[in-house]
Structure 1
Amino acid sequence: MKLRIASYNLHKCRGLTGPHAPERNLKVIAEIDPDIIALQEVDFRFGARPEALPRDMIEEMTGLVPMQMRTTGETSLGWHGQAVLLRPELACQAVMRRLPLPGLEPRGALALRVAGLTLIGVHLGLARSSRRRQLARLAAKAGRLSGDAVMMMGDFNEWRGDRGLESLDSLHVFAPGPSYPAPMPQLRLDRIAVSSRITVTASGVGDSALARRASDHLPIWAEIRLS
């Protein structure tokens, strides 16, 4: 089984300063052409948390569909601002769980199981103490799935490579390249962690001219093979 997996923090589809233009983010996703993509900040932050990424535009512009789940609010696309898009033929066989996470601010992760893969999409907290607690919980979850191919992907909000990730010693953790801030990327905030059953055959950052305008993060991607 070979899959192209991606992650993208949309920054509520408003680029760095606005205006709200979700068609730009959808074009960036289409450029990457993933089988599955974990998204962060798909909803506006306040009030009823309405969708910033309109669901009625997704399939037409990318060929992907959002994984159905119980969202934050009635008009939200995601849960804690996170959602997963995937190809329709994968969506019909996928199962997703929400994973609440500890920390100073409300956070959660999404665990998708499909085609022999458990993909955990994350958007970790701003404080390193919170991130450490969140990663410890996710690592324990991954440990209970030791027979599965496990992949964790998303906005780790961790700019250091030598601290904060200690809980993930059982996984191979890497960043494909600098992804933040998008106009002049310097920091490797967006990362990937994989278990031994996954071989990463290629990875990269979606660093196109459009991607540098569409969000404050650039998307990351990886092509994987499941053993």
Structure 2
Amino acid sequence: MKLRVASYNLHKCRGLTGPHAPERNLQVIAELDPDIITLQEVDFRLGARPEALPRDMIEEMTGLVPVQMRTTGETSLGWHGQAVLLRPELASEAVMRRLPLPGIEPRGALALRVAGLTLIGVHLGLARSSRRQQLARLASKAARLAGDAVLLMGDFNEWRDDRGLESLGSLRVLTPGPSYPAPMPRLRLDRIALSRRIELLDSGVADTELARQASDHLPIWAEIRLP
């Protein structure tokens, strides 16, 4: 089975400096045409953390639907600002779990089980010490799923290739290319980690003119084949 997966930090749909324009982000997602996409910063940060990405626009503009789960608040789309969209035909069999993570800042990951794949969407902390703790916990969970096809993807907030990712030694870490800051991408903050059972067919960064305007991150994507 082939799947096109993607990850995108929306930066609350404000582009680099504003204004709030979620239709741009949704157009970028539609052009990516993923089967599954993990999203970060889908909610505003303060107060009740209302959705920055309006849920009533998602399916109409992208053909995707959000995975149903218990969110941060009554008006939130995600949990810790994270959500997962997928094709409606996959949604009926999808099972979502929330994974609290350690660290200085409140963080969490989303684990989605669908089509024989365990996909973990992440938005790791700003401090490397926290990221190491978070990745160690996620790697431990991935190890317990050793018989499965496991994929971690999201905003790792790590710009180095030679440190901070030590816990992922059992996985293949893929960095498709520079994704931040979107107008002039230099840092490879967004990454994918795959278990050995997943075949990587292709990957890349969606570096388009619209994507450079829609967020401070560019989306990353991969085409995979499951065992």
Scaled by the length of structure 1, the TM-score of the pair is 1.00
- Residue matched to 1:9: 9
SS of equivalent to 1:25: helix
Q: In 1, Cα distance between the equivalents of 2:30 and 2:161?
A: 30
Q: How many residues align?
A: 227
Q: In 1, Cα distance between the equivalents of 2:83 and 2:94?
A: 14
Q: In 2, Cα distance between the equivalents of 1:93 and 1:197?
A: 21
Amino acid at match of 2:184: M
Q: In 2, Cα distance between the equivalents of 1:141 and 1:74?
A: 29
Q: In 2, Cα distance between the equivalents of 1:63 and 1:197?
A: 29
Q: In 1, Cα distance between the equivalents of 2:16 and 2:7?
A: 18
- Following superposition of structure 1 onto structure 2, how do residues 41-80 of structure 1 map, counting pairs within 5 Å? 41-80=41-80
Quote the offset at 1:20 in angstroms: 0.2
Quote the offset at 1:174 in angstroms: 1.5
- Residue matched to 1:130: 130
Quote the offset at 1:42 in angstroms: 0.0
Q: In 2, Cα distance between the equivalents of 1:26 and 1:49?
A: 20
Give the CA RMSD over aligned residues. 0.3
- Residue matched to 1:103: 103
SS of equivalent to 1:85: strand
- Residue matched to 1:187: 187
Quote the offset at 1:152 in angstroms: 0.2
SS of equivalent to 2:151: strand
SS of equivalent to 2:199: strand
- Following superposition of structure 1 onto structure 2, how do residues 1-227 of structure 1 map, counting pairs within 5 Å? 1-227=1-227
Structure 1 gaps, min length 5:
none
Amino acid at match of 1:210: L
Quote the offset at 1:125 in angstroms: 0.1
Q: In 1, Cα distance between the equivalents of 2:73 and 2:140?
A: 29
Q: In 1, Cα distance between the equivalents of 2:58 and 2:160?
A: 34
SS of equivalent to 1:90: helix
Quote the offset at 1:77 in angstroms: 0.1
Percent of paired sites with the same residue: 86
Task: Map Cα deviations across residues 32-90 of structure 1 (whole Å, 9 max, x no partner).
Answer: 00000000000000000000000000000000000000000000000000000000000
Q: In 2, Cα distance between the equivalents of 1:200 and 1:56?
A: 33
Task: Map Cα deviations across residues 161-181 of structure 1 (whole Å, 9 max, x no partner).
Answer: 000000000000011000000
Amino acid at match of 1:21: A
